[in-house]
Amino acid sequence: MLNCKETTQLASDRFERRLTLTERMNFLMHIMMCPFCRRFSRQIGWLHDLFHKASTLPDDQLAAIGQKLPLDRERLARALRDQDRQ
């Protein structure tokens, strides 16, 4: 059985590459039993969706959203543009 560190790594990896059948089964078994990794997995999924959607927005809409966030706007805009290039 995977530990929490291995499970959170797979939670990230699944957006970068296709997990093997064994990895998927071990991942699912762990998150069924561990509420912390289940929450982490859900949250990283939301973040992935958010960045994916944000990368398709026109600059003015992205800027409007950025105005509302309590983040370093320059850094966020740079991160989104960098992701868009990949």
CB under 8 Å to 66, separation ≥6 — which residues? 73, 76, 77
Q: Where are the alpha helices (DSSP H) in 1-86?
A: 4-13, 21-33, 35-54, 59-68, 73-85
**Residue of 10, 23, 27, 37 that binds Zn ion (CB under 5 A):** 37
How many residues at the interface with Zn ion, by CB under 5 A? Answer: 3
Region near Zn ion per CB under 5 A, out of 18-26, 33-41, 63-71, 76-84: 33-41
The yes or no reply on residue 10 touching Zn ion (CB under 5 A) is no
**What are the residues binding Zn ion (CB under 5 A)?**
4, 34, 37
